[in-house]
Amino acid sequence: MLARDFKTDVLPISSKLLRFARQILQDEEDAKDVLQDIFLKLWQKREELVKVENMEAFAIRMTRNRCLDLIRSRRAVPMEVVKNNYKLEEDCSDTDHLENAEMTGLVKRIIAGLPDLQRTVIHLRDIEQLEYEEIAEATDMTVNTIRVNLSRARKKVRDEILKIQNYGITENTTIVAKIL
Amino acid sequence: MLQKYFEAESTLDEESELINYFNSGEVDDQLKPYIPVFSGLKELSVNENEELGEDLMNYILESEHKEKLKYRWMWQIVTGVAASVILVMLAVNFYSNKDQWDDTFSDPKQAYTEATKTLEYVAGKYNKGMAQLKPIGKIEDAASPFYSGMKTWNKGIEKLGNIENLNIELKK
């Protein structure tokens, strides 16, 4: 693969990979470090990249593995920190009116608090808009397992959002619960 | 469609449609509680850092440059050590050979005289050897009448070659 092809085919995936690494590691600096490692490796192996059929799934898989290695090596439990932060903010949030930034932050924190598989699939599907087959390639999971985990993750996000809103808008939530 | 979404049975197009609907500002009152879900997901998929690719490319090129410098530095050390070893070997060789040449004359005239003496000695031995070969000359002298006789014989043989011509003429 030529340097020009690398810039057009591989570099544009960087934003997705950064979001994904950030989602797993819950740390901006660590995510950037992982991304630099990944892209340096991809650059050094660029001659072999022509054989890769789905570059995006391949790079996502590399990123996921690298992030999990990092977590294992540090024996870090980032989810615990995230969950604690989420609880603190949840207690003092004003649920009558959620601004865009607040909504984003809220969804982000709920997703961050999900179990690893659910977090990975909801991120790859709902944020990165990957097909089920691509997610399967990137995570080594079957499409059926992905669907099960995705459904659980989406319902968890929905339930958490409704629960937070429930403090102020009980009536609406009841109606929605009846619809679904 | 919303139910399909939560059961993970919707397609990407349907999901995109849902995101657009919940971010349109015209959401049915009953479904408004879902707005944070979809607007949050939409916000999360926005590219925040446009220059990320460029930053990464700079990092890659910088790392490659550092790697090259590292190898150049290693190469310099290796060649430096190799050159030092060669110099040491040459120095050892030079000093060990120096002992063999300790008897060399420092005065050229004396060296010339010694060389002449040596060559004269060799020439004397050579002449002695040649003198012992003189009896071979006597054999040559004794054989010379034989050689002259052989010359006369050869001439006679040549004349015999004309006999054939004489016979042809006689026949005629």
Quote the mean pLDDT of chain B. 84
Q: How many CB pairs under 8 A join A and B?
A: 105
Question: Is ipTM beyond 0.90?
Answer: no
| Contact (CB, 8 A) for A111 and A161 | no
CB within 8 Å: A36 and B59: yes
> What is the 3-class SS of A99-151, one letter each residue?
CHHHHHHHHHHHHHCCCHHHHHHHHHHHHCCCCHHHHHHHHCCCHHHHHHHHH
pLDDT digits (tens, 9 = 90+) for B7-27: 999 999 999 999 999 988 888
Percent of chain B whose pLDDT exceeds 70? 94
Selecting from B34, B44, B53 the residue whose C-beta is nearest the C-beta of A14 gives B53
CATH of domain A1-76: 1.10.1740
Which of the given ranges, A39-53, A75-89, B91-105, B123-137, has the highest pLDDT on average?
A39-53
Using a CB–CB cut-off of 8 Å, the residues of B that contact A are 2-3, 5-9, 12, 15-16, 29-37, 39-41, 43-45, 47-49, 52-53, 56-57, 59-60, 63-64
Q: What Å distances lie between residue B6 and A18, A122, A166, B9, B48, CA to CA?
A: 26, 11, 19, 8, 28
Q: How far apart are CA A23 and CA A120, in angstroms?
A: 8
* Per-residue pLDDT tens digits of chain A, which is 180 residues long: 777 888 888 888 898 899 899 888 888 899 999 999 999 999 988 888 888 888 889 999 999 999 989 888 876 445 544 444 444 344 444 444 556 667 778 888 898 889 989 999 999 999 899 999 999 999 999 999 999 999 999 999 999 888 887 764 444 444 455 455
Residues of chain B found within 8 Å of residue A148, distances taken between Cβ atoms? 8
pLDDT digits (tens, 9 = 90+) for B34-72: 888 888 888 888 777 778 888 888 898 888 888 888 888
In which band, very low, low, confident or very high, does the pLDDT at B138 lie, cut at 50, 70 and 90? confident
Per-residue confidence (pLDDT) for residue B17, from 0 to 100:
92
| CA angle in degrees (0–180, nearest 5) for A4-A6-A7 | 65
Q: What Å distances lie between residue B170 and A58, A145, B157, B163, B165, CA to CA?
A: 118, 133, 21, 11, 9
- CB within 8 A of B41, min separation 6: which ones? A107, A126, A127, B19
Per-residue confidence (pLDDT) for residue A93, from 0 to 100:
45
Domain ranges of chain B: 2-44, 52-100, 107-171
A18-22, B99-103, B107-111, B148-152: range with lowest mean pLDDT = B99-103
Domain ranges of chain A: 1-76, 78-180
DSSP per residue, B63-132: HHHHHHHHHHHHHHHHHHHHHHHHHHHHHHHHHHHHGGGTT--SSHHHHHHHHHHHHHHHHHHHHHHHHT
Length of chain B: 172
Q: Which fold has domain A78-180?
A: Arc Repressor Mutant, subunit A (1.10.10)
- CA A131 from centre of chain: 15
| Contact (CB, 8 A) for A138 and A61 | yes
CA B128, B130, B136, B141 dihedral sign is negative
- Residue B110 pLDDT more than 60? yes
- Give pTM, 2 decimals: 0.59
Q: How far apart are CA A154 and CA B6, in angstroms?
A: 6
Per-residue confidence (pLDDT) for residue A94, from 0 to 100:
46
More confidently predicted of B107 and A168: B107
Q: Would you state the structure tokens that stand for residue A73, as one six-digit string?
A: 């090596």
